[in-house]
Structure formats: structure tokens, C-alpha cells
Amino acid sequence: MAKDSTGAATPAYFNIDPDAARAELGPPTTTEGFARIARACAAGREDLASRGLGEQGRKTLRLFSTWEITRYLIPVAQAHFRRVLRARPDLPQGRSETEGGARWFTLDEVLRLRAHFSSAGSRSKEYAPFRPEGLPAKVVAVANFKGGVGKSSTAAHLAMSAALDGYRVLVVDLDSQGSLTSIFGGRVEDEWQTVFPLIAGHHARHLRATNQARIDRGEAPLPLDDTLGAALEVDPAGLVQKTHWPNIDLIGAQLNLYWAEFQIPVWRLQSRGWKLWDALSDGLEGAGLLDAYDIVFLDTPPALGYLTINGLSAADILLVPLGASFLEFDSTGRFFDMLHATFASIEEGENIAARALGREGLAFEWDAVRAVLTRYDGSQQGELAALMQSYLGPVLSPHRQDFTALIGQAGEQVNGIYEADYRDFNRETYARGRETFDETYAAFKRLLIGTWKRDQEAAAAEDAAANGEAETAQQGIARA
């Protein structure tokens, strides 16, 4: 605080001299001024991002030690792990930085070792993660229209956890800010390397089918502009790029993706019958991506726009991160209210026509919806978190993702928690820091396995019913 003439302390906002304030002000900012600020941020971003890049100018994933592998990745004792490597020289042997020192392995080597233990190890242990055959990937949307709740961080760390667990993961960045793309070192030149052509192509195919019907009725076709024509030439699978994780791939985002929020309503006005909310899910399925991966994570924009609607419509599981504060609890409640209003409106509009035509109505459904507390401080937020839990019940995951020193230090190094080398920390600090993310993933994995198991049971019941009907029909033919 400043002091007045008597020496008494005064608030900092007292006695500000207008002439001094004017001298500090600087010139007015023009539109070009925004460009200068943006260029400065871009230069700083490149500098910060480069600190996490390897010699080739791209992000690289660290190595994993025998201690870390046997503690977190493959459930075997270190001594047994070493015996297996000695007995099987055809398996990855890792590398040692010193004579007789700890061995270090790439994640790709870890996955190969996991596959070996899965086929030759103890049947009482889970080496390969649960994944029913014949069922598609689970699509997981991470959404909230309030920014700063840890949405991109949650999506990234769940993706990394799933990859360490052995799943094949695709991350799709629907946010034009591209935070998830940056985390995974993605490089996206323009909107044609994002989901934009996937959505545009979906509309173009609908318009093409509509035009054929118009031609059959003797009506003039609607124009198919250059953007839609170009989108039809894009292979959705070609939008996928590799990351520095061997089993995480990415469909990235960049600023131009925001153009979709303006273009989609124009297309919808042109073709009222276009089911815009199906564009992303149909695109992922049509490109075979739901068969190529086990889990697809969608990071949505912090707004309930058309890209978010597409992400939520495509999702099997919805995760809503929020902090343990009144404002975030209030905002999240409004978010769910808007979700209800939006999807109820879509259902109502579609089902009016469906009832008139005698068709089955539209009903959106999600396997599971959970809110997740992030950046949690138990010493200060315990009471409010308990209150939130009492109101939300099972919708709010009982696990709370703590904020630890490891999180802040990893962020300074432009890495996710699982990308941080534990040698940069006290080993106990590292173990305690990653524990909160391991528990977050464990809570998610229970949802994942539970929904897959329910789908598996439903598919078995359908097969049994179909076989029963076929058997009855065969018996009827035999009697006849």
C-alpha cells in the first residue's frame, strides 16, 4: 500500500496522478494491433513448445524404466521380468545408460512385452485390457461450456492413460483453439486437416441424394459449391496423423475450424432435412475409425455450438470436468439445462415428421454421463465438494482429481503427467502426483468396461433371440 503525507497506509488505487497515468498509457490499439499481439503470442508459443521437442523438431516420448514398467504397466515382479528377458533374447531388451544400470524401454517395446505376457503369462493377471471382439470403439466426449475447467487436460491425460493401458486411441480436437492438438504435437495447416471436410462431406452427400430426388421429380438441383465438391474428395482416414505416442493418433484442430460454426447453419438452411448432428459419428464410422481404434476421445469447444453438438451426438460416454466452486457448479448446471433444451428440441422437431410418416422416432442416448472434479484442493474445497456430491449423486464421480506439484512442474515442461520423467522429481513425489490421474483413469475405465460388458450382453441376447427364431422357423418347415 502507498502512504499519505502522515505516513498512514492508503489503498493502491488512491491518489493516482492523471498525468502519470496518461504517460504510461501508450497509443490506442488498432485492428492491426491485434495481429501484432497474435504474432507475439505465436512466437512465444513456438518457443515454449520447442522445449518439449526432440532433435527432429517434433515431440518425442520418453523411455520407461524396468521399475516403472513393473509397477504401473505390466503386473509382474521385477525379478521375474528380468528372468523372462534373459530367457527370451528375441524380446525387447531395452537399453542401459551405465554398465549394469537400469534398463529403459520405448512404449512400443513395452506394448510388445505386454503382448508376450498376455499370451504366455499367468492367466490370473490382466495383461491386456478388456476389449470385446466385434463391438465398435467407445466414443468419449469431454465437454463443458465453461473454460478453464481442465477439459483439454482431462481428455489428454485419459488418452495417455488408456494408451499406457494398451488401448488403441484416437483423439479428435473439435476446439479451434487447438489445445489438445498442441499437447500431442500435432501440426494442422488449415481447416482441411481438421474435421471440417468430414462434416462438409456429410452435407455434400446428403445434398447429392436430395438433388437426385429433385431431378427425379423434374425439379432443378440445388447448387453444390466448390467447398462441398472438394470435401467429397477428402478421405476421412487421411485426416488422421500420428503422434509421438505409438498408439495415440490425432485429428487436429486450428483456428480456421471455427468457420464451421458459421457454415453449418447455412447448410442447414439450404437442406432442412440434413441431420447435421450425425455428421461426425457417420464420418468416423464410414471411415472405419471405430473399428481401427478402441477408444475415441473428443475435446469439444467451451460453448454449445454445432461442433459441440456433433461431439455430444457421437459420444457414448460424456465426461464433464468442473472445479469445486460455486460458480463452476452453477455454470455446469446451466450447461446440463442447455443440453436438455438442445437435444429435446432436436428430438421434437424430428419426431413430428417421424410420427406423420409412421417411422420410428429419434431418441438420443448416452451409455454414461459423469461430472469430474478437477484441480481439487481437499483442504479448502472438501465441504463444497461434499455438498455437490449430495445434489448430483452418482452423476458426480466420487474420485476427485487433486492438483499436485507434479502437475505444475510437468506443465512448465510442456508435457502431460505421463510424459514427465520421474527422475526429474523425488520418486515419492512422482508416485503421489500421478496417483490422482491413475485414479481418474480407473474411475473412467470402470465406466468403459461396464458399458462394453452391457453391450456384449445385449448382443448375446439378440443373437440368442435370432437363433431361437431361426430354430423355430426350421422346426415349422420340418413339420410342414
Question: Mean pLDDT per 10-residue run, the chain (480 residues)?
Answer: 62 78 77 78 69 64 93 92 94 85 92 92 82 94 84 91 96 94 92 95 94 90 89 93 96 94 91 92 94 96 92 94 89 90 91 81 90 86 89 87 61 68 79 85 92 93 79 61
Order of strands across the sheet that contains 317-322: 241-242, 248-251, 169-173, 295-299, 138-142, 317-322, 368-376, 396-402
Residue 53 CA to its chain's centroid (Å): 22
- Of 230, 253, 240, residue with least CA distance to 284: 240
Rounded to whole angstroms, the Cα distance separating 290 from 107 reads: 23
For 307, half-sphere exposure in the C-beta direction (CA atoms, 13 angstrom radius) is 30
What is the Cα 470 distance to its own chain's centre?
Answer: 42
Cβ(267)–Cβ(258) below 8 Å: no
- Residue carrying the nine cell digits 448375446: 460
pLDDT in the model for residue 1: 53
Residues ≥6 apart with Cβ < 8 Å to 440: 154, 157, 158, 161, 372, 399, 401
Q: Are strands 169-173 and 241-242 parallel, antiparallel or unpaired?
A: unpaired
Distance CA 112, CA 100 (A): 23
Closest CA to 452 of 354, 258, 292, 317: 317
Q: Taking a C-beta distance cutoff of 8 angstroms, is the pair 177, 261 a contact?
A: no
DSSP helix/strand/coil, 5: coil
So what's the pLDDT on residue 410?
47
Residue 186 has a pLDDT of 93
**pLDDT in the model for residue 28:** 79
Distance CA 447, CA 425 (A): 32
Asked if 114 contacts 128 with a C-beta cutoff of 8 angstroms, the reply is: yes
C-beta separation of 303 from 144 below 8 A: no
pTM of the predicted structure, to 2 decimals: 0.87
Residue 95 pLDDT = 92
The residues near 372 (Cβ < 8 Å, ≥ 6 apart) are 154, 319, 320, 321, 322, 396, 397, 399, 401, 440, 443
Rounded Cα distance between 222 and 68, Å, is 60
Please name the residues in contact with 410: beta carbons below 8 A apart, sequence gap of 6 or more: 416, 417, 419, 420
Residue 296 DSSP label: E
Give Cβ neighbours of residue 135 (< 8 Å, ≥ 6 apart).
452, 455, 456, 459
